[in-house]
Structure 1
Amino acid sequence: MPRALWTVWVLAAAISLSKEGAPDQAHSLSCDPTGVCDGRARSLNAIPPGLTAAVKSLDLSDNKITYVGNNDLQRCVGLKALRLGSNGVHTIEEDSFFPLRSLEHLDLSYNRLSNLSPSWFRTLSALKFLNLLGNPYKTLGETSLFSHLPNLRILKVGNSNPFSEIQEKDFSGLTFLEELEIDASNLQRYEPKSLRSIQNITHLILHMRQPVSLLEILGDLLSSVGHLELRDTDLNTFSISEIAVYETNTWINKLTFRNVKITDESFSELVKLLNYISGMLEVEFDGCTLNGLGKFRTPVLGTVKYLGNVETLTVRKLTIPNFFLFYDLSSIYSLTGKVKRITIENSKVFLVPCLLSQHLKSLEYLDPSENLMSEEYLENSACEHAWPFLQTLILRQNHLKSLEKTGEVLLTLKNLTHLDISKNNFDSMPENCQWPEKMKYLNLSGTRIHSLTYCIPLTLEILDISNNNLNSFSLILPQLKELYISRNKLKTLPDASSLPTLLVMRISRNTISTFSKEQLASFQKLKTLEAGGNSFICSCDFLSFTQGQRALAQVLIDWPENYLCDSPSHVRGRRVRTPGSRWLNATGQPWCPPRAAPFSCCSCSPGFCATISTACGT
């Protein structure tokens, strides 16, 4: 072989081997027939080649992509969603997204973009979602990034460190956002009216370490934001003594503090703030820390009659480091008269003082779930004249142990209709109990009870006793409309004559083996039945019944997917058949039970035999 030809052959072979040894990144994508392509966490270092207009959704998050070029997405004209979050992208060429005129979702979060360019977005008029969080830019650029995005509804910008300035032009062109999240943890400067340009923001999430310019920002938002959420902020020194609010009609109706630190002094300032916001109806504290003793500033609170117009107060996972030195909160009792709904969840509450309960004159809903309430302390909380208009009480997952005592201490609540005492450990149920006379709803799920007595009030319309150890249900409840009794050990449906008004029954995941046409017909008013997940014996009678009831699917809300045969053994795990359907084997082929099966054609209805014959080809 001539030397030159040999050299060419060697080079060609080397190139071929190199190509074979390199991973084909295009094959790192898994795409379904609708054009949804998943390339997450595949160690890709570039956007895979060969992408076409057939790709509708492309997820390349959690890879090692550093560069997006003008030609990488050139043929993806049908793309609606592009996810490039958590890569190492530091450069995006100006026209990289130019062909993506149908793009609605773009995630560029947690990359290394130190500069943002408005040219990336100039053709993305259909874009609804844009996430730029976690990139190391200091500002949102010299010109408005979002002026070409009239349909944008969700926007996430900022980072925890370099981003330090919000400018007036930053949000120019945006008129309505369903959600705006700004990580301004290191905010140093806020240019006045920067957020006022957005006329309507349904939900604004603002991350701030310190409340720098918080009052200025709040002043710009009062007439444009529905729900303001403040996250990760130290409000220990917060004060509103210098606030000047000129808005008389504010749009903001909900204020959330998430992972925020508060002191006695700053809490008093927040109470004062609520009186400036006329439209405020709901306040929420989630995962917050109160570094105080409950010794609030009485002179400040003395100038405030109520908590503004707040009707709903929610507290979750509140931490009070000096909990056992805490005061009795008497200084704020007088502020609670307008509050209608209170949730204090998972905050180690063991007592609501009687005097506070008596001041809650408008309270209709109280939820101290996942706390330390016991019957002894509940008796003090539900004292005479306490919660006079309370209708719903949620005591889920507390330390209640006696149904009899619980019912007795709640007799003072003359208007109570809904009681949830689920996930307490009652174990046993006494023969008789006393309950408020208007009780309509009782939740005893997950309380370890193993039998029912007439401790259950006869006035109930809804009873939830799911997830217990019950093996029978024999109570007569003439007004009951809904019964939830799933995840027990019942072997049959309850007697319909005991439940003459029943409309809804959920009895899934028990040990029921069968039910008949006559049993269902006996529930004359039943409109909804959920009975899947039981241990059905697929006898001829049961299968013939399920075929003959064409209206069965209208009553059984989980039919047919949750109805599986438990026996005989050779059909265990197979779906109970629907009218006109066939038995299918594991590969989806028609299958016929053996003639020796208990439900062979000789004992089955003609319709069932016909289906069996068709499936078997006989």
Structure 2
Amino acid sequence: PTGVCDGRSRSLNSIPSGLTSAVKSLDLSSNEITYVSNSDLRRCVNLRTLRLGANEIHTVEEDSFFSLRSLEYLDLSYNRLSYFSSSWFRSLSALKFLNLLGNLYKTLGERSLFSHLPNLRILKVGNSNSFTEIQEKDFAGLTLLEKLEINVPNLQTYAPKSLKSVQNISHLILHLKQPVLLLEIFVDTLSSLEHLELRDTDLNTFHFSEVSINETNTSIKKFTFRNVQITDESFPEVVKMFNYVSGGLEVEFDDCTYDGVGDFRTLTLETIKHVGDLETLTIRKLHIPQFFLFHDLSNIYSLTGKVKRITIENSKVFLVPCLLSQHLKSLEYLDLSENLMSEETLKNSACEHAWPLLKTLVLRQNRLKSLEKTGEILLTLKNLTNLDISKNNFHSMPETCQWPGKMKYLNLSSTRIQSLTRCIPQTLEILDISNNDLDSFSLILPKLKELYISRNKLKTLPDASFLPVLLVMRISRNIINTFSKEQLDSFQKLKTLEAGGNSFICSCDFLSFTQGQQALAQVLIDWPEEYLCDSPSPVRGQRVQDTRLSPSECH
């Protein structure tokens, strides 16, 4: 594209000369540049994006960026800068994104670096070794940030009110090894922060002191914990932070370790009553070393009544106890992907009166084997409309099945099924059966609007009379060798067709139809790139759009 200069990974040891005002985006990341001089970028007055990450830069002259008044994106991460000068940023009033991660500095300097950056929305600072101190003036002048990432695992000093000056922070990411100063930062950001994310923190010794908090006007709504360690003792302390949430609470645990057995008998419901405001809970890859001793958590079931969305992925879940399912009275969305659920345990989980408002259930990649049993078990879920049971090994499909009466979406992709039967519910509006071993499609589905059937062994398009209201069909990567104008026209409502990656025979009829229809490109979303001739052999590999046969071959 015009104005884009890509100089990544070229072993450059300096910024190339001769750059002009025509350059709008300059990427010199992953080189060996050591020095930025006042004259290197002087003529780049229209530069919007400058990427200098992953170099060896140790020196930037004072006025190096002075002429870059249109600059919106600056990446100086992972270099060898041991200090920053506020003069570098003085004229960058249009700057929205600034990444200073992974350099050699111990502090952000003696003067406020960011006071001339009124439009800055994303800021990343810190490093994993030498950066140990946050000073009161570090973030002065910043009022509104969408994301602030501070990598300060070895934080030793946090000057009170350092983050209080930023009036609004949508998302704060803190890399902290120990939680010693976490409470001070939490207090300072309570009225400005919406989403707090902690990374790589050992919370085993965390203690929450309510004394230091007298903030009543809070805006925090979401907590994320990534690669964090928690114990039975520290869990109640972490939960106390949730008491300061405004409105519905969202909590996410990603790749965390719970070093305990879920023994919350010492927990008074009063201390953690605000868990009752939890609306969205996401847990991915939770490690519980003492999994076999884990309690059933029944003493906190009573706090789960407001939860609307739960995702627990890849965490060895084999059962949701019936009593817990019955307490989840507001639950609308449940995702238990990549776990150990089987028909036997699902029967207990989806017991009578379980999840009464549940609309979406995702059981992708579990231990389900029988479609018939799965459908029957889920009949208790009267409001279920969306079911994803992809990546389970069903192999075969019985002649008939029972399903909840409101089902509209069913995902059976990657389930090794070889043929379709009337087991598929008639109520469906969306069906995904991609990546299976199907060689035909002859089901009548009167309400189906979207059909995903890519990566199978179909030789022709389905019969349009079976699918009278179909709007979208994705049937790429099958073994279809042709389709005609009459076939396409018979799908009266079809708006989108993806049929590339098939083995097309480029006959004269097929070429004349595909090349002669201008409107075809509006329906075929992957045209022309994915439509290649498989035969005749002289044109194999050519795009259908570009292929020409001689008159003698056509007559």
Tell me if TM exceeds 0.5.
yes
Instruction: Tell me the CA shift for residue 536 of structure 1.
Output: 1.5
Question: Helix, strand or coil: the match of 1:311?
Answer: strand
In the other structure, the counterpart of 1:256 is: 224
Contact 1:298/1:331, CA 8 A, preserved across alignment: no
1:538-617 matched pairs, under 5 angstroms:
538-577=506-545, 583=547, 592-597=548-553, 599=554, 603=555
Aligned to 2:429: 461
Matches within 5 A, 1:58-97: 58-97=26-65
**Residue 151, structure 1, aligned to residue 107, structure 2:** no
CA contact (8 A) 2:276 2:305 kept: no
Take 1:76 and 1:241, find their aligned partners in 2: how far apart are those partners?
52
Query: Aligned-pair distance for 1:131?
Result: 0.9
The alignment status of 1:283 with 2:251, answered yes or no, reads yes
The residue matched to 2:387 in structure 1 has which SS? strand
1:281, 1:242 → 2: CA distance?
19
Distance of aligned partners of 1:306 and 1:358 in 2 relative to their CA distance in 1, 3 Å threshold: farther
1:92 Cα offset (Å): 1.5
Q: Report the CA distance between 1:304 and its aligned residue.
A: 3.3
Query: 1:156–1:182: 8 Å Cα contact kept in structure 2?
Result: yes
Shift of residue 524, structure 1, vs aligned partner: 1.9
| 2:393 alignment partner, SS class | coil
- Partner-residue secondary structure (3-state), 2:273: coil
Contact 1:536 1:564 in 2 (8 A): yes
Secondary structure, counterpart of 2:269 in structure 1: helix
- Identify the residue that residue 204 of structure 1 maps to in structure 2: 172
Matches within 5 A, 1:310-389: 310-389=278-357
User: Could you tell me which residue of structure 2 aligns to residue 177 of structure 1?
Assistant: 145
State the Cα RMSD in Å: 1.7
Give a deviation string over 1:533-587, Cα, whole Å, max 9, x none: 211112122222224433222322222222222211112222222xxxx64xxxx
Q: Which of the residues 2, 12, 30 maps onto 1:44?
A: 12
Range moving further from structure 2, 106-115 or 553-562: 553-562
* Residue of structure 2 in register with 1:192 after alignment: 160
CA contact (8 A) 1:391 1:418 kept: yes
Matched with 2:267 is 299
Q: Report the counterpart of residue 197 of structure 2 in structure 1.
A: 229
**Superposed CA offset, 1:325-366 (max 9, x none):** 111121221111110000000111111111111111111110
Contact 1:275 1:308 in 2 (8 A): no
- The 2-side partners of 1:516 and 1:85 are apart by 52
Largest Rg, 1 or 2? 1
Deviation, 1:308, is 4.4
Cα 1:361/1:298, change in 2 over 3 Å: farther
Offset of 1:72 from its aligned partner?
2.5
2:88 aligned counterpart, secondary structure: helix
Counterpart check, 1:489 vs 2:460: no
Structure 2 equivalent of residue 120 of structure 1: 88
1:70-110: CA deviation from partner (whole Å, max 9, x where unpaired): 22323333322222222222222212222222222211111
Aligned to 1:22: none
Q: Secondary structure at the match of 1:201?
A: strand
Please give the residue correspondences for 1:437-456 in structure 2 after superposition, counting only pairs within 5 Å: 437-456=405-424
Question: Is the Cα–Cα contact under 8 Å of residues 278 and 304 in structure 2 kept in the other structure?
Answer: no
CA positional deviation for 1:266: 1.5
- What residue identity is the alignment partner of 1:60? L
Q: Once the 2 structures are TM-superposed, how far is the Cα of residue 276 of structure 1 from its aligned partner?
A: 2.2
TM-score, reference length from structure 1: 0.87
Q: Which aligned runs of 4 or more in structure 1 are off by greater than 6 angstroms?
A: none
Q: How many correspondences in the alignment?
A: 555
8 A Cα contact 2:218 2:244, kept in partner: no
In structure 2, the residue corresponding to 1:120 is in which secondary structure? Answer: helix
Give the TM-score normalised by the residue count of structure 2. 0.96
Q: Which residue of 2 aligns with 1:587?
A: none
Gaps of 5+ in 1: 1-32, 584-591, 604-618
- Is the Cα contact below 8 Å between 1:516 and 1:545 reproduced in 2? yes
The 5-angstrom pairing of residues 376-415 of structure 1 reads: 376-415=344-383
Aligned to 1:34: 2
In the aligned structure 2, how far is the partner of 1:243 from the partner of 1:558?
61
